[in-house]
Structure 1
Amino acid sequence: MPPSLSAVAALPQLGLTSPTGPPPDTPVLWVAVSELEDPTPYLEGGELVLTTGMRITAGNAAGYVARLVERGVAGLGFGVGVIHPAIPDELLTAARAQGLVLLEVPRPVPFIAIGKAVSRMLAAEWYEDVTRAYQAQRELTRAALAGPGRLVTRLARLLGGWALLLDAAGDVRHAEPTRARAHADALAPELARLRRRSPSPGGTPEAASLALSLPGEHIAVQRIGLGGRPRGFLAVGTGEPLPPTAHTIVGAAVALLTLQSETPRTARDLRSALAAVLLDRPAGGPAGGSALPRGPVRVLACAPGKGGTGAVLDALESDPAGERCLPLPAGRRVAIIVPDGLAETVVSLLAGVGPVGVSAPAGAEGVPPAPGALAPALRRAEEALSAAVRADLPVLHHADLPGQGVLGVLDPEAARAFADALLAPLRAERLDGSVRAYVQANGQGETAARALGVHRHTLRTRMRKAAEILGRDPDDPAVRAELWVAFAVAANEGDRIRHVGDSTPEPPEIA
């Protein structure tokens, strides 16, 4: 709101006084200095007019006041001590009679000081309005994240009135407060005007909003949607006409509701594709084929830090490459299906979010993955992530895991049968731990003995016994390789073979 005349008159540095009584709260829209006998052709109304009375006489004072009152000025400031030592009695009498507020401006106060003071007050009010509108938009945006109902509730409270969200047919979707539903029937005839479309490309533009004034109530209705056919309507009602700031707030609400109603084509395609996967139907149709990433793809597993899974999603949304990814938050981790060609770009987006495990490429060239086809890739990404966490690495590819290239091609069932057969006699004699340490030390007895905490002669005795049981020499590189594979397979549970190591990898959280 602009500053009031009473607020301007109260500024102590100006020393203004009012011989016509206490100044009212009439808004002052601007300050105009004029010595014309009739300045009204150059006024719009709402100004504080300043004059020294150069053209005012006893005979024209009443007419001068009448013209100012008719134009709707906020008040008249009269500078004394320049032309007139005091406000002329005829002017004062006419002002009192016609309801014009007079302010006496002391001789030492230049008119420009009053103009600057009002300008500063207008700027402060403008800044406050902008700040209020910005804060309101932030509140509406936060509310919109919880759905249109929460947004409508917040809007009504910001305006100090009521709000209605109607669908395209005019039925109430959300009302705040609940009694606002009663306005829907009265608005029904008006909605038809907002539904009309232009008769041709060069026709009259379709109406986007309308305003209604009822006794004690001011209503504004806006259509929601970008196309020729509205997707809904937003109606708000207040006891007073909406100021410009409130119109800005309503416009922000309409924009947010439009964004929610105008589902992007890519999101529609994605939902269609996901439905195809869930229904185990082909995803190669006009929608599914464009939404599902086509092979080859990689699966990334990320363990975000303090930012949580939201930090991963925010990072993906910061770059167009993220739009072609399919993220799946689960617990403290996020799995992401990424086209192979964008894998490194997406990994760089996640830099600083948390460690990342990357699977090898999966899927056939140009073909969307079939349901369940990426489960092995997810497991490998999880294994790489677990290893990255243990090694404190920002990113680790599954192919870079020690020995994983060999283990990855083994058939789990056959490999487990081989490991059980090879290690069973060692376990029976409780020699498997010593042999494993010897193999991991690459046949270095001193290193293995230290790892076991035994004397090297003790380990040598155990290894001679192990050789007798196996019927093979553990110092033979081929024998040690078979033992390494057996221990690697035995270190895992279930139906998969993961990275071998002294410590058991963390169980995957997404798979």
Structure 2
Amino acid sequence: MSTPLASLKVSWLLAQKRLELIPHVPTDAEFTVVYPSELRDPREFLSPGDAAVVLTLGLAFEEDPESFEDYVIRLKAAGCAAIGFGTGLCFPAVPKSLISAATKHHIGLFEVPRKIPFLSILASVHGEFSRQLTRTQDRLLALQEELNKAAIHGGLEELLHRTSTVLESAVAVIDNDGRIHASADYQQLSAVDTARRAVATGRGLSRAEINSVIHRMASQGERHHIFVVVHHAPLHAQARALIKHSAGLADILLQRPSYLRKARSELNTLALSLLLGIGGQGQAISSALHSVTDSRGELRPMVVQADDAHRLQKTLSTIDERLGDHGRTFFALPLDETTALVVLRGTRGVQECAAHCGDHRSRLRIAVGAPVLWNQLSLQSVEELRTVAAATPRGDTSGPRTHGAKWLKDPVVQDILRRRTEEVLGRLRSHDRETGEELCDTLVAYVRAGGSMGLAAEQLGVHRHTMRSRVAKISRLIEVDIDDPLTRAELLLVVVANAPTSGTSG
């Protein structure tokens, strides 16, 4: 992170057209302050290290213009970047002796016409410095937010890795016993040895080519941690502010295990109370679900079904992250490798629930149930939602008013579907066992994709020609016209009714 102290180039000043400055000895030197002065020797009032632009009318040299060379020599020795000479009052033009001296001693020189007040130059420079400061502060806030996100989503390791990248430095965190808790190298730099030296001697490494910042973090009893940064060049104020911010975040992360331990203890107590029936199971469950129920004690179940286990895990991670961004707790229960139950607050709408799935939504089948009191959520209602999700086209969301598959549970319907399942899926499964083909999975993908060869092929990871060949073979084996929409609808019911339930596979 290379953000030096605010400075401007003399060439920038000359480029401000409204000032109408006229260069006589051009320079690309940088300056940090503009100082109007009519003293023959203004060095006493120039701060050491400041590269100044000195503005003068030459009043002190009106009778002695040949002394300009000594004047230039003194300003050059003081680190002056350029001289702005005002004409039209004491001197009608910039004196040749001043031009000659500035050229000889390599210091910038420009003319300020009489109609341009020195105050205009000061105002322009001050305005630009203010804009630079605002940009620097905005950048600092943005970087702090990056570090916050790294700490929240990636923990100590990710925080140090991001800090190392931002500062272009090596970073390490060590405790007073010499244990390295995390570290991040930068190019050839490592902060580990410096951290260990800091613990052993109380001092870090500081040579001409290597610098270190050692920040002692808050104590926890007899233990404390040290945040060490190693870098090639001295760090500026903004970088040091980021170091303090990152060290503060690291401090919170290192103390977090105590909070996690407390939460784990509460979870263990809940498990024992449920096992032994002590203290009332309803009360224990109500306490555990308190953060997900709304003010009426209601929650909203949502079943998410993906094409594969990897997609489901990425979806659950996205939901967890989005809930975390809103300070909400994540409740989820895998039903099988590709299906999971997620519980959200009862006040959430159907689309609001589905939106938590983020960009994965277009590749999921989602069924959102009606808000229900926490103690009325049952396995039967979850299985009904699961059946609805299985029947929902990929990329769609079914809500309480858009699904009505309870009739599928009717015993008569179930018996019919069982017989049809054996006729269709049973025949294909037998064929697959004998030949090693995957016609059963192909049929499931095809009917769920609404007869789209492209979508089904994408889901199975095969070429469309392979998909078309398999579908034709399925039609011959089960002796139906699979291209007929009514036939596909019947087969979809068979597939949905045969969807695996909790604790089963198939």
TM-score range relative to shorter protein: 0.5 to 0.7
Match of 1:169 among 177, 188, 192: 177
1:184 aligns with 2:195: yes
Structure 1 residue 247: deviation in Å? 2.7
The aligned residue for residue 382 of structure 2 is 381
1:104 is matched with 110
Conserved? CA contact 2:304–2:341, under 8 Å = no
CA separation of 1:264 and 1:183: change in aligned 2, threshold 3 A? closer
**Alignment match, 1:195:** none
The within-5 A match list for 1:448-467 is: none
- What's the CA shift for 1:23? 3.4
Q: CA deviation at 1:219?
A: 1.8
Partner in structure 2 of residue 156 of structure 1: 164
- In 1, distance between residues paired with 2:229 and 2:128? 30
| d(CA) in 2 for partners of 1:289, 1:390 | 32
Give the partner amino acid of 2:23.
T
1:155 aligned partner, one-letter code? T
Name whichever of 141-150 and 157-166 sits farther off. 141-150
Counterparts of 2:205 and 2:346, CA distance in 1: 55
Q: 1:262 aligns with which of 250, 255, 276?
A: 255
Aligned with 1:11 (options 6, 15, 34) = 15
Q: Tell me which amino acid in the other structure corresponds to 2:193.
A: A
**In 2, are the aligned partners of 1:357 and 1:388 still within 8 Å (CA)?**
no
Any idea what SS the aligned residue of 2:497 has?
coil
Name which of 272, 275, 289 aligns with 1:293: 289
The within-5 A match list for 1:104-123 is 104-107=110-113, 110=116, 111-112=118-119, 114-115=121-122, 117-119=124-126, 121-123=128-130
1:49 corresponding residue in structure 2: 54
Task: Choose from 356, 361, 382 the match for 2:368.
Answer: 356
Cα 1:9–1:344 shift into 2, 3 Å: closer
Gaps of at least 5 residues in structure 1 are 193-210, 364-373, 408-418, 431-499
Deviation at 1:301, TM superposition (A): 3.0
Structure 1 SS opposite 2:23: coil
- Is contact 1:224–1:232 with CA below 8 Å preserved after alignment? yes
Q: Is the 8 A contact 1:355 1:388 kept in 2?
A: yes
Amino acid at match of 2:55: L
The answer (yes or no) to whether the contact 1:273–1:289 under 8 Å persists in 2 is: no
Letter in structure 1 aligned against 2:227: L
Report the CA distance between 1:56 and its aligned residue. 4.1
* Separation of aligned partners in 1, 2:350 and 2:224: 39
TM-fit CA distance, 1:263: 1.8
Q: 1:329/1:114 Cα in 2 relative to 1: closer, same or farther (>3 Å)? A: farther
Q: Is the CA contact 1:80–1:106 (under 8 Å) kept in the aligned structure 2?
A: yes
In structure 2, how many angstroms separate the alpha carbons of the residues matched to 1:329 and 1:223? 44
Q: Which amino acid aligns with 2:183?
A: H
Q: CA deviation at 1:5?
A: 3.7
- Quickly say closer, same or farther: Cα 1:175–1:283, change in 2 above 3 A: farther
User: How far off is 1:176 after superposition?
Assistant: 0.7
Residue 76 (1) aligns with residue 83 (2)? yes
Instruction: Supply the AA of the counterpart residue of 1:80.
Output: T
After superposition, the Cα gap between the structure-2 partners of 1:252 and 1:163, relative to the gap in structure 1 and judged at 3 Å, is same
Mapping of 1:266-277 within 5 angstroms? 267-275=260-268
Structure 2 residue runs of 5 or longer lacking an equivalent are: 357-365, 421-492
Structure 2 counterpart of 1:482:
none
Cα-to-partner distance string for 1:222-271 (whole Å, 9 max, x where unaligned): 24459787753321122222123323443443344234323287644433
CA distance in 1, matches of 2:120, 2:112: 12
1:232 equivalent to 2:225? Answer yes
Deviations 1:338-359 (A, max 9, x none): 7xxx534597962644542368
Give the C-alpha shift of residue 79 in structure 1: 2.2
Contact 1:143 1:150 in 2 (8 A): yes
Q: How is 1:79-478 mapped onto 2 (pairs within 5 angstroms)? A: 79-87=86-94, 101-107=107-113, 110=116, 111-112=118-119, 114-115=121-122, 117-119=124-126, 121-123=128-130, 125-126=132-133, 129-130=136-137, 132-133=139-140, 136-137=143-144, 140=147, 143-144=150-151, 145-172=153-180, 173-177=182-186, 179-188=190-199, 214-224=207-217, 232-263=225-256, 267-275=260-268, 292-293=288-289, 300-303=301-304, 308-317=315-324, 319=326, 322-323=328-329, 326-328=331-333, 333-336=339-342, 343-344=346-347, 350=353, 352-353=355-356, 355-357=367-369, 361=373, 377-378=378-379, 380-387=381-388, 390=391, 395-396=399-400
SS in 2 for 1:31: strand
- Secondary structure at the aligned position of 1:182 is classed as helix
Code of the residue aligned with 1:164 in structure 2: it is: A
Identity, % of aligned positions? 20
Show the counterpart of 1:450. Answer: none
Distance of aligned partners of 1:352 and 1:238 in 2 relative to their CA distance in 1, 3 Å threshold: closer
Match of 2:463 in 1: none
Secondary structure of the corresponding residue to residue 105 of structure 1: strand
Report the alpha carbon displacement of residue 389 of structure 1 after superposing the two structures with TM: 7.0
1:477 aligns with none
- Residue 170 of structure 1 contacts residue 188 of structure 1 at CA under 8 Å; is this kept in 2? yes
Counterpart-to-counterpart distance in 2, 1:311 and 1:146: 14
What SS is found at the alignment partner of 2:214? Answer: strand
